[in-house]
Structure 1
């Protein structure tokens, strides 16, 4: 991967722990759609394509990470920020197409966009298409490379997009504070943090916690292929309409977080399905432990390995309390990079399996805060998965319309 001409470069920074993982996976398998993040929104009300395009252009100028390209120099990954980049919004008009065909057409476009590869040597690793469905309704399809974008960034992008579009319509400045930091500043801070030796305590914790851990997996229905595959299917189930109210009440009475509830439920289910008591699964953490970086678009995510000793004779309250203690302890040591943990533990190599874990849990409320911005509303819609990373990916997502369980399984 070679650098493009540097005439517009305004800054060069080391890559972060999260970025290093995505960069070298990209180098190993260029154009892998598994490294793309796909997002789908619906916009309803009074809006225009040019207004949306101009808002995205302002966001790109506001966040340096969206004007960043990546190179490898002497085996080291670097990110280079350029002064400006062109951005054009894709626009498709389906208003002349029968409404019953809209969903299949939009889904096909979402899949194509999600699977289209990025060239990391070219800045602006973000694409967006507006699909007009009616005069006052459209789908917004987004694809971004994971090296510049994570789940939390979805909420940041949606909020700023809404604020800027509303301000453009009302011919005023948007209500957005200036950014005191950029992603490159975080990369430099992380480099200093590593040099201080502060990560070693976290590394020792995880080594002690996982050094004798088994490889937990569910019994497959078919023979496992010789190498990793990312093709799969998804099962979607809606929870009852009163699920949120009942869950919030239970969590409050138990003094637990939303994620702890999900981890307790999944570990109990995995114990029930497998008969095993030593349960392990992965979960992503936002990694945004400082308020100042909560306003940034970028990749801060890390993967934690949750190990739970499921006791068959424990009551529900006892199991939940046990999981709460383990989750709290894990979060105290969340800064240790997953890839570094793999190198430290040196698990047995197996080309057909992910290292350390085969199952992933993601339980959260949707990143996009669904709300009105003046004359229009942004709504989160389930999006296409470019690839199945784990044997089983358990997603439990809450939106204004209710909670849904999505089981992505590798076929």
Structure 2
């Protein structure tokens, strides 16, 4: 029985069961089905100057006290995973001396620290470490399990508040942060209630119609002959577009009343068609579900995965594919609140697809600016960020100076390094041809793609 009214998003009592959100359930399923996959999300900040490590630890503790996800673990309930919120934070800040090491070794040590396993039941799922490279030089490595965070949580909440708390504690005062109207567990409870209303039913009908009888994901390449242990390091191919090409991508998007992201998505679909011959193609994208002001100041995985299905044939123009992608994305965003996990469950995907439901290729646009926090008396800079491979191939895009930048991330157990590099070259070549001649049939770009081999 569905209700007409959209439920209100309010605090719920903490004396009862707190169900995990569908995003959290999805991450836990991913961790169980892909052995060796590290689901800790991390940030590494270089701190220059006279650091007060005790004050830094107290600042991290204060943030964990303010935000429940940073002191959350998980348990099993009769109806699925539950969130368990601890009354007090469990935050330590070990100082690890690594004096005299070079930049490459420093990055490796940061990766090693971030890759340490996390126990969903015992926790902690938020941890910190301080690598001391010189007496007045440190690197702060923060790690939060993906089931508890997203990019907004990092760069618009956690890290800015770290700067505010560190400065305020030095001045022996409170930072003056407004009280939080809700926490992530309140959103999880709301999500369950929302799924019982007619709006959710209508969104489910949309997705079931779009994804009825889904095709098999097009193959990218054979798996490496010897898959790396524990997942290995993801292959990362920079996708920074040369200035003139980036401008042409932007201009074509504007001409078609779309965006650069839509152009890149269309190019990726066209490439999958040209590489595999597939004409019914599904890829994935990520979308924020922070659609209400109450959600802006909280930490939690407020993201959803959307499946984008396109009909791609060699005789169609790139311009027509771009228009199709524009319409598909607009409709998908209008139905983005229905959890992807619910869609997959209702489609009853066969066991062979349990690891990567519906698609093997993801494309997403990171719209959250990565601005290091201001810590009083310290110079702060971010060490290079290394996106993780949750899918065989993941194109992560961002914007620099109004133009697109990005990274192609490949899971080394599914896509070998050579194929990942080839896909990057082919995508760039296809883009150059498509934005120069958007009215040419897609098949006309096959030679340029093949020439990159």
Q: TM-score range by the shorter chain?
A: 0.7 to 0.9
1:341/1:224 CA distance change after superposition, 3 Å: farther
Distance (whole Å) between structure 2 residues aligned to residue 224 and residue 349 of structure 1: 24
Hey, what's the Cα distance between the residues in 2 that align with 1:136 and 1:251? 47
Q: Are 2:23 and 2:303, in contact at CA under 8 Å, matched by a contact in 1?
A: yes
The answer to whether 1:146 aligns with 2:150 is no
TM-score normalised to structure 1 length:
0.83
In structure 1, the gaps of 5 or more residues are: 1-8
SS of 2:300's partner is coil
Q: What is the match of residue 301 of structure 2? A: 299
Corresponding residue number in structure 2 for 1:18:
23
For 1:59 and 1:244, the matched residues in 2 are separated by 43
> Distance between the aligned counterparts of 1:88 and 1:394, measured in 2?
35
Does the aligned pair in 2 maintain the 1:244–1:403 contact within 8 Å?
no
Cα deviation 1:348-379 (Å, max 9, x = unaligned): 32168522111111232455334645544544
Secondary structure at the counterpart of residue 127 of structure 1: strand
Q: Structure 1 residues 256 and 48 mapped into 2: Cα distance closer, same or farther (>3 Å)?
A: farther
Please name the residue that 1:56 is paired with: 60
- Residues 125-274 of structure 1 mapped to structure 2, 5 A cutoff: 125-134=125-134, 137-155=137-155, 156-222=157-223, 230-231=231-232, 233-237=234-238, 239-240=240-241, 242=243, 246=247, 251-257=253-259, 259-274=261-276
Gaps of at least 5 residues in structure 2 are 1-13, 414-453
TM-score by length of 2: 0.76
Match of 2:339? 337
Q: 1:235 to 1:79 in 2, by over 3 A?
A: closer
Change (3 A) 1:251 1:221: same
Q: Distance in 1 between matches of 2:48 and 2:194?
A: 44
Aligned to 1:3: none
Higher mean C-alpha deviation, range 286-295 or range 131-140: 131-140
Name whichever structure is richer in strand by fraction.
Answer: 1
1:136-195 superposed Cα distances (whole Å, 9 cap, x missing partner):
543322222222222322212122112222333444432532211111221221122123
Instruction: Please give the root-mean-square deviation of Cα atoms over the aligned residues, in Å.
Output: 3.4
CA contact (8 A) 1:278 1:307 kept: yes
Distance 2:287 2:305 in 1: 6
**Whole-Å separation in 2 of the counterparts to 1:235 and 1:133:** 27
- Per-residue CA distance 1:276-309 (angstroms, 9 max, x = gap): 3322111222221212112111122221111122
| Distance verdict in 2 for CA 1:330–1:140, change over 3 Å | same
Query: Separation in 2 of the partners of 1:36 and 1:243?
Result: 37
Deviation readout 1:41-67 (Å, 9 max, x if unpaired) = 334455432232121111101101212
